[in-house]
Structures are given as C-alpha cells and as structure tokens.
Amino acid sequence: MWKVLIADDEPKIRQGLGKTLEGFSFPLEIVAEAKNGLDAFKKAKELAPDILLVDICMPKLNGIDFLRKLKELQLENRTIIISGFQEFSYAQQAIELGVSRYLLKPFEEQDLKDALTQIMGELEKTKHSDEVMRRLHQMQVSREPQTSVIEGWLNGEPDASLLKEESNPSGIHIPAEAAIVLITRQEILPDSFQDLYLQEERRKEILDILKPFELLAVIYGRNQEMTAVLETLPPDMQQLWKQLRYCMERLNQGKFNIQISVCTRTNAPDVYRQMRREARKVLECRQIVADARRYVYAHFDDCRLDLPEAAEAVGSNPSYLSRIMKQELGMSFKDFVTNLRITHAIHLMHTTDLSINQIAARVGYSNQYYFSAAFKNVQGISPSDYRRGGAQ
C-alpha cells in the first residue's frame, strides 16, 4: 500500500479527495490530512508518505514553501499540486521543486486517476531499482571484498596498512601505481527511469575494452557513473580514450565525460576527487535546460507536448531552448522527448501486460503507428519484436 497525505485548508475538498481515491480501488492508504502547510510538513516528516496531494494556497505555509521544506527531508515521494491558481509563476516554481503533477481546479477524476497511475508506476520502479542496487551492493561486498577496499581507497578511507604493502594478509591488492577510468553520462532521465537492463549492453562492451589491463575493481555509481581501476597502465592512453568514446557514442545518445588518470597509492583520493569534480563541471546543465527537463518529465505522456509549449513553460523562446538543449544534452528537444518516451515504454513492457497500443497511449503517442516508428528508430526493432525477445 502506498501512503497518501492530503493537504488542503478546505475540509470539503479533503473529504472529496479522500472519497475519490477510495473509489479508484488503488493500493492507497490515506495516512493523514492537513489543514495548513505547517501541519502538512510535520505529518510528512513523521509519516514519510509516498504520495502527497497539496493545495497551493494554504495558511501558515503555502504549497510552494511547503515543497521547499519537504525537499530538505530528501524523502522518496511524489507530489501532486492541486490548485485553482493558474498564474504561470506558481506552475513554474512547482516544476522547479520537482512536483510530479500540477492539476488545475476544477479537474476531471480521470486526470487525477491518470496522474496517480503513473506515479505509482514510478514509485514501484524506484522501489524495485533500489532493491536491485541493494542486492548488487551486498553481492559485491560479500563476493568481491577487493572492490569494497579499493572503493574506500579512492575515497580516502583505506586500511592504512594497504598503503605500505603490496597486499595485506587477506590478499587484497593495492598497487604502487594504477590507472583510474571514470565514465560519467549526463543524467538524461529521472531516477525512476534508470533501468539496469538498459545499461548492461554498454557496461559489457566497456568492460571488454578494459579487461586486457587487469581490472582491479569496477564501481558503479548513481547517474550512470562507472569507475574502473586498472593495474596495468595502458601504453596509449589516448587510444584507450578513443575506444571508450566510440563505444559510448555508438551505444548511447546524450552527453558524457571520459577521463583516464594515473595515480599512486597515496594520491589516489586527490586524483579521483578532481576527476569527479571535472566531470560534474563538464556535464552540469544550465538552469533553463534543467527546468525544461523537469517540465518534460511531468508531461511526456501528453501527445500534445511540443517545443513551443515547453519553451513557454520555462520562459524562453523555442529556437533558443532548442539550441541550448542540443548544446547541453547532446540531443535535440525532439530526441530528448522521444528517448524518454521509449525508455518508459520499455519499462512498461518489462513490468506490465499492457498491449502495444495501450503502452503507446501511456507514453504520449496518439496512435500505435507513430509509436512503432519512433521505437524502431531508437531501438532498431519494432515494439512487438522487442517484447518477443528480439532485444536479447
């Protein structure tokens, strides 16, 4: 059951929303109602609800300020803003604060139902991904203690004895000199769409390139980051960099950063820290692009979504937004939307029994023909063939 908090200063609206949710027969439990923003924040902090339905205009703490404070708690939840205020500034601020949906009163029950359906899917996927990552981490620590030790070494937290000797009694090896390979891809998709199966092909090919140099450890981080530590220094760093770049360009769309640096036992943390800092600087988006991405995340399932609409939502003009997104993300607005839609479609194929036509509608295509054409353009095969196992 997903826990729900309803925050609105009008009792009738709170009661109405509660009855509406009960009528949907969804796995939802209303754990709290709040009549003002401050009360809502206290209950959210105490109960950690999964879904919040929040009015913009509330006493003591309005909806926007509530969202700002809620963000500080770093909870894994989704928020639907329900408001009669149509001023652009409210919608824009809500988008910037990561709100999942913005519904204007009066709205149809189907609008709320659709929003909740998508949000529950996102939460389920996030829960599954977190569990998979937890299990992978446990397996990595239990089966590959060397990876854990080397990760600590790179982050400046090693057993001091490892820096003085070639190996410790358990055989965990820290070389006198090593090469660090850091590959970071810009986080094009939100966390709820970062599916492990979409990354496996890329990981396998990269590892095949690096294996000849005696891989000591491979560490996977958030935002599709991969760190490899090589015991044998590549004789031609530039050639290795070119191989990795070719692999990334062929397997992915979007912006990425590849760095290869040599370190010693003692300076590895400083070298690694600088590499990560440089990657963040290279891949950091301008605010307008970040805002546009958030807007697309919230509306990609609407077949009417287009560049002029997104540009208006972030206070820009279409030509400028298109140009700056291409520079910052390495892909056009159209390709960005298409990739997001196809990625979510693949997620639905793996996790539901929906028909191809239903999936097309769920991800923002007005008909199956357009969806199939877009899917084949991105994946190289049709949705039907992919579902039958053609992508394996």
Classified by CATH at the fold level, domain 144-283 comes out as Alpha-Beta Plaits (3.30.70)
**Three-class SS of residue 32?**
strand
Residues of the chain with CATH 1.10.10.60: 287-390
Residue range 60-100, pLDDT digits in tens? 887 778 888 887 776 777 888 887 755 555 665 666 666 76
Of 231, 201, 226, 202, nearest in space to 215 by CA: 231
pLDDT at 392: 45
User: Cβ contacts of residue 243 below 8 Å, gap of 6+?
Assistant: 209
Q: What are the angstrom distances between the C-alpha of 104 and each of 78, 90, 293?
A: 17, 11, 21
* Architecture of the domain delimited by 2-126: 3-Layer(aba) Sandwich (3.40)
Q: What is the mean pLDDT of residues 181-208?
A: 65
Query: For the chain, where do the domains classified as CATH 3.40.50.2300 start and end?
Result: 2-126
Residue limits of CATH 3.30.70.270 in the chain: 144-283
Q: Is the pLDDT at 214 greater than 50, yes or no? A: yes
Enter the pTM of the model: 0.46
* Average pLDDT score over the chain: 79
- Rounded-to-integer distance, Cα 143 and Cα 185, Å: 27
Q: What's the sign of the alpha-carbon dihedral 297, 299, 303, 307? A: negative
Distance CA(83)–CA(292), nearest Å, equals: 21
Superfamily of domain 287-390: Homeodomain-like (1.10.10.60)
Does 28 have pLDDT greater than 80? yes
Q: Look at residue 318 in the predicted model and tell me its pLDDT.
A: 92
Averaged over 169-183, what is the pLDDT? Answer: 78
Helices (H), the chain: 11-24, 37-47, 63-73, 88-96, 109-143, 145-154, 200-210, 237-251, 268-283, 287-299, 307-313, 318-329, 333-351, 356-362, 368-379, 383-385
Cβ-proximal residues to 392 (8 Å cutoff; 6+ apart), any chain: none
Q: Residue 41 burial by CB count (10 A; 0-12/13-18/19+): exposed, middle or buried?
A: buried
Angle at Cα 374 formed by Cα 293 and Cα 320, nearest 5°? 35
Quote the DSSP letter at residue 97. Answer: T
β-pairing, 51-55 vs 2-7, is parallel
Residue 69 in contact with residue 92, Cβ under 8 Å?
Answer: no
N-terminal to C-terminal alpha carbon distance within the chain:
33
DSSP label of 390: I
